[in-house]
Amino acid sequence: MTVPPTDTINAILERFESQAPATDGLLAGVNIAVKANICTTLGITSAASRMLENYRSPFEATVVTRLRRAGANLIGTTNMDEFGMGSSTEHSAFGPTRNPWDTDRVPGGSSGGSAAAVAAGIATVALGSDTGGSIRQPASHCGVVGLKPTYGRVSRYGLVAFASSLDCVGPIGRCVRDCAQALQIIAGEDPHDATCARVPVPNMINQLDTPIDGLRVGVVRTMINDHNHPAVNAVCEAAIERVRRSGGEVVDVELPHADHAVAAYYLIAPAEASSNLARYDGVRYGYRAPADKNSTLDEMYTHTRTNGFGPEVRRRILLGTHALSSGYYDAYYQRARKVRRLIKQDYDRAFNEHGLHTVVTPVSPGPAFRLGEKLADPMALYLEDQYTVGVSLAGLPAISVPAGMTDDPKPLPIGVQLIGKAFDEPTLLRVAATLEAAWSQRDSFKPQVGMC
């Protein structure tokens, strides 16, 4: 891959001044970027929105504190879909990010800036956030590794909220080991976050070279179908065969309610967003409409929120407000919560009844699509998340690992998704490392610098 100039891909929103980090930590001297919805005291935390374009946080996120204590050099904030709402990083108030493999295509989203920054060699590791696939999908599109931890494994303190029961912070790196080392640092309970689990953090690194002999890997055959790009199915089949050749046992499993995941997610996530984003009212902080446009308090609210939020954020706030409104709450929101419970039970049954260690699925129905291709059809964009949102609803860990390429004139990377049991990231990373090592084309993704 010939990497385009960094100003061409628009992955970085703000570069930080050089720091003097610790020199003896696990991440000593490693250049790390953070998604623009993760609070730092080094610059602006904009969430790629006009609403927060000048906001400087008075505190930093727990994950940022832990990275800095481990010696990481924070180089800047990465572009994203505004408030994390999107699957292409085209919904940023500061312009879209472009895919380093083909600058006419999207990097995925909403953590597209983080994935593109790592793919282009700007950062060794970048933090992203994943609500319905926002780490895994851009990692797949950019040919890097993206890890969504178990919900509660990593503190959300200092993460600008989108959907509080779904949001996770996780790493994107050039290889599995990079992500494992970053997760080792940022994981663990946090008194600032009541949803952060009081679960011991195991060693995320020491099993990476352990063979997967005897591990059982589930395959959801219904997700390898004719609706996918042919290369996606081919990559998944090749990954399944690599599991067999590496000593793993492959088991076909079913997730009966998987087809309902997108509908449930796009009721639950917007409903939580409509509540979380109510705080941006032009009174306490953030953007406020000019005084000459406001003759009443209601007009100030209206003008502030109309001008401060982009169209996709406004769309989701309206969807969520409607789902929570009187007369529709039971029909939409409550029913979606029941479906979420069924999806979680499907995964529990698959893992427990078959004794599975991981499940393999596609990450996305196709490779990175062209800029602007799906902007006029929000539903087409939402369906990009069809293989990732169910995992988020179930709160499970998952990782996207580069596993193949399309045969286009400009070949595009494709990842596979591995899903693990709750709080069993070490086994998930172990299987991911096996697939990564077995892929004969891995050298095309090999970082020029980094920890791998």
Per residue, what are the HEC states of 94-148? CCCCCECCECCECCCCCCHHHHHHHHCCCCCEEEEEECCCCCHHHHHHHCCEEEE
Q: β-strand 31-35 against 125-130: which pairing, if any?
A: parallel
- What whole-number distance in Å separates Cα of residue 320 and Cα of residue 98? 29
Of the residues 35, 148, 374, 421, only one is catalytic, namely 35
Of the residues 87, 114, 129, 134, only one is catalytic, namely 134
Secondary structure (DSSP) of 315-352: HHHHHHHHHHSTTTIIIIIIHHHHHHHHHHHHHHHHHH
- What whole-number distance in Å separates Cα of residue 46 and Cα of residue 14? 10
Whether residue 35 lies in the annotated active site: yes
- What whole-number distance in Å separates Cα of residue 143 and Cα of residue 403? 8
Of the residues 57, 88, 110, 274, only one is catalytic, namely 110
End-to-end CA distance of the chain: 18
Q: β-strand 31-35 against 73-78: which pairing, if any?
A: parallel
Whether residue 392 lies in the annotated active site: no
The per-residue pLDDT string of the chain (452 residues; one tens digit each, 9 = 90 and over) reads 555 666 689 999 999 987 776 778 899 999 999 999 999 999 999 999 999 999 999 999 999 999 999 999 999 999 999 999 999 999 999 999 999 999 999 999 999 999 999 999 999 999 999 999 999 999 999 999 999 999 999 999 999 999 999 999 999 999 999 999 999 999 999 999 999 999 999 999 999 999 999 999 999 999 999 999 999 999 999 999 999 999 999 999 999 999 999 999 999 999 999 999 999 999 988 999 998 877 899 999 999 999 999 999 999 999 999 999 988 999 999 999 999 999 999 999 999 999 999 999 999 999 999 999 999 999 999 999 999 999 999 999 999 999 999 998 889 999 999 999 999 999 999 999 999 998 755 555 443 334 45
For position 79, what pLDDT does the model report? 98
CB 346 within 8 A of CB 258: yes
Helix (H) or strand (E) holding 427: helix 425-438
Global pTM? 0.95
CB 426 within 8 A of CB 297: no
Helix (H) or strand (E) holding 249: strand 249-253
For position 19, what pLDDT does the model report? 78
Q: Smallest Cα–Cα separation from 99: which of 177, 173, 1, 176?
A: 1
Output the CATH code of domain 10-258+338-445: 3.90.1300.10
Whether residue 444 lies in the annotated active site: no
For position 410, what pLDDT does the model report? 87
- What whole-number distance in Å separates Cα of residue 382 and Cα of residue 84? 13
Nearest-5° Cα angle at 286, 283 to 289: 65
Residue 330 exposure: Cα atoms within 13 Å on the Cβ side: 1
Nearest-5° Cα angle at 287, 282 to 288: 50
